[in-house]
Amino acid sequence: MTARQIAETVEARSGHRDPGFAIYVHWPFCKSKCPYCDFNSHVRETVDEQRWRAALLRELAHYAALTPGRKVTSLFFGGGTPSLMAPVTTAAIIDALAAHWQLDPALEITLEANPTSVEADKFRGFASTGVNRLSLGIQSLNNADLKFLGRQHDAGQALAALDLAAKTFPRFSFDLIYARPGQTVAQWQAELREALARVGDHLSLYQLTIETGTVFEQAYARGDFRLPEEDLQAALYDLTTEHLAEAGLLAYEVSNYARPGQESRHNLCYWRYGDYIGIGPGSHGRLTIDGAKIATRQHRAPEAWLDRVEREGHATRQFHEIESQARLEEMLMMGLRLTEGVSLDRVIEETGHPLDHWVAPAKLQRLIDGEMLVRTGHVLRATEDGRARLDSVLAALL
């Protein structure tokens, strides 16, 4: 399938869709902290998993009481490294879902995993609990770059984990980071070919960025390494798009590619501005309650979160209504990342007014004339150039 055919497929499938209702469960623990990572992850020598399991179930029950009658379309175990959990913990949470809500017949249950041999041995256990989609943090298929990225596995373990995932789970995805220091177009092309030889129905490809508060931020400031120049980064991105298009993988979001119909249902709920519950340390949520859109955030520090849940039944630090203008901004920020764009009918549902009420027509037209945005029927979407410059597009639009 060519890039043009993929774009036409996306446009044909765009429109007003139910974003679903998702549950996110955060497991904050890792074996080590990767130097590029700014997620809420922590290293602990020991974890009382029985105590943590009970707390996660209790906070889940708290939010279930606020959202009766909903139908869950996806459950995502993220982190941290959720594959460090015992399968009995995932089983308990999956069982609790059925006790609290209706379950979509096509319920997607994803678990993030690292491809170390110890964790890979647990794949069959997770599958037996109901996990039907694995997301593997491969990050690179080059041993030197894996070491630079602070990963605990080597390329051989990564490939073995991919092979096992393909045999164990109905669906699996994996992540790679590119635009790494010293990386050439030829090197990335070879790595992409190796990845595509093992790809299932989904692939996530991220350019390396320097995040605030990470070890890499300090190292980059010292001049310990340099990122590729902007022209090289663009060339790597173009190569990525070309190769995945040839493999039939749809670029449905800035960094995510899937075969048609195999997109991550959980992430689509976020990007389509659906409702989702976040439980566990630092988790965020968005809930519609009595017509109001509520932003939630749980206590970030693991031990403080655990203590508060045990005392109060939840560890919510933030629970406030999002005003209509802010809802629009969040919708556009999330939805324009998607190749399918933003449903303008959903804008009315979320804010009570059409887009033209919030955005000056002249601003919108300038971005359309500049080929950053396209408005067709009831959909507003960013072009490929627009998605590459989304921060600037949003600033000009809002």
What's the whole-number mean pLDDT along residues 79-100? 96
Rounded to the nearest angstrom, the gap between the alpha carbon of residue 343 and the centroid of all alpha carbons in its chain is 20
- The Cβ of residue 335 has, within 10 Å, a number of other Cβ atoms equal to 23
Cβ–Cβ < 8 Å for 140, 146: yes
d(CA 295, CA 274): 12
The residues, ordered by sequence, that sit 6+ positions from 39 with a Cβ below 8 Å of its Cβ are 79, 80
pLDDT of 17 reads: 76
Q: Which CATH number describes the domain made up of 324-398?
A: 1.10.10
Which of helix, strand or coil describes residue 125?
helix
Of the ranges 7-21, 77-91, 126-140, 347-361, which one carries the lowest mean pLDDT score?
Answer: 7-21
The residues, ordered by sequence, that sit 6+ positions from 127 with a Cβ below 8 Å of its Cβ are 168, 169
d(CA 283, CA 286): 11
pLDDT of 250 reads: 85
Cβ–Cβ < 8 Å for 36, 177: yes
pLDDT tens digits for range 270-328? 999 999 999 999 999 999 999 999 999 999 999 999 999 999 999 999 999 999 999 99
What's the whole-number mean pLDDT along residues 187-210? 95
* pLDDT grade for 16, boundaries at 50, 70 and 90: low
Q: How do the domains of the chain map onto residue ranges?
A: 3-269, 324-398
pLDDT tens digits for range 223-271? 999 999 999 999 999 899 899 999 999 899 999 999 999 999 999 999 9
CATH superfamily to which 3-269 belongs: Aldolase class I (3.20.20.70)
Rounded to the nearest angstrom, the gap between the alpha carbon of residue 179 and the centroid of all alpha carbons in its chain is 20
Among 265, 266, 267, smallest CA distance to 254 is for 267
* pLDDT grade for 119, boundaries at 50, 70 and 90: confident
What's the whole-number mean pLDDT along residues 380-395? 93
Among 387, 343, 390, 384, smallest CA distance to 19 is for 343
Q: Residue holding tokens 């999002």?
A: 322
